[in-house]
Amino acid sequence: MKKYDIIMMGHVSKDIMIYPDINEEQRFTAGPVVYSSASASQTGAGVLVVTKAAREDWKDIEYIRGKNIDLKIIESPLSTSIENIYLSADREKRKVTLLSSAQPFTEKDIPAEETKIFHLAGLFRDELPETLITPLSKKASVAIDAQGLLRCSDGGKLLFRDWENKKIYLPRITYLKTDAAEAEILTGTDDREKAARILAELGAKEVMVTHNTEVLVLVEGKIYKAPFNPENLSGRTGRGDTCFASYLARHLTHGPEEAVRYAAALTSIKMEKPGRFTGTIEDVLARMK
């Protein structure tokens, strides 16, 4: 049976991106597992993506498969579809509506293949139920994006709520990623370093907090930071997914200081062009200089 560095689980999304400021609309199939698998595989990690979608959409998902990326699609009555209306030129403010959703993952969907890391790359709460964390943590390290724990659907409107059972499950998580807003919801503070330390005290081994200016990671009590420096924001969508996965992949063979600098550089390159990261390690190392 094939072994992987990272197994990523999460829904793909039939995205509708609306930019009122430039009177433009884009439609494509993407999602956290798309951006995450690209940045990790281009960093050299062997990845298996496990997703769920309606069979009629499988042809639009096959493009995920590629060098260092295998793909497993589980049939669902519906696929997930999300509408994003961007309300500011910096792409930080947006109205998000869940139009449809694929079935949640269950314990029977956990792949039998061996891996070093199970990366739960969810779009919204209950897509990857928190009850999966315990069985996964018995098989490998668990990496999880807080978006999939905090973002809830209220009649299609997506909003963020605190994670009620964080004290139970954070000790089982090796790598936790949040953005600045999610970190504040989880901890009650807008100080990103303080929030990372609170989350570590609650049990997460390594905590990443992204912001539009930088990424920081807390590891064993020490903070590591690196700035984002994109020349434009045309590829802003997928920033957090790209950053987290590239950090995980680089961290397989390097320490946290190198990994966070690498992740910031790769993500900066990705933000300059729509879609998933398609560059090389050499491109990233050059940007790091």
**Structure confidence by residue, pLDDT tens digits, 228-269:** 999 998 888 899 999 999 999 999 999 999 999 999 999 999
| pLDDT above 90: residue 157 | no
pLDDT digits (tens, 9 = 90+) for 83-124: 989 887 766 677 888 899 999 999 999 999 999 999 999 999
Burial class of residue 271, CB neighbours in 10 A (0-12, 13-18, 19+): buried
User: What is the domain class of 3-288 according to CATH?
Assistant: alpha beta
Greater confidence, 26 or 59? 59
Greater confidence, 237 or 68? 68
Specify whether the backbone of 55 is left (phi greater than 0), alpha (psi in -120 to 50) or beta. Answer: alpha
State mean pLDDT over 4-29: 91
Q: How confident is the model at residue 221 (pLDDT cuts 50, 70, 90)?
A: very high
| pLDDT above 80: residue 206 | yes
Nearest C-alpha neighbor of 208 from the set 128, 262, 127, 167 = 262
The token pair at 287 is: 């940007």
Strand 114-120 to 94-100 pairing? unpaired
| Contact assessment for residue 18 and residue 260, using Cβ atoms and an 8 Å cutoff | no
Q: Which pLDDT score is estimated for 17? A: 86
Q: What is the DSSP letter of 280?
A: -
Greater confidence, 93 or 47? 47
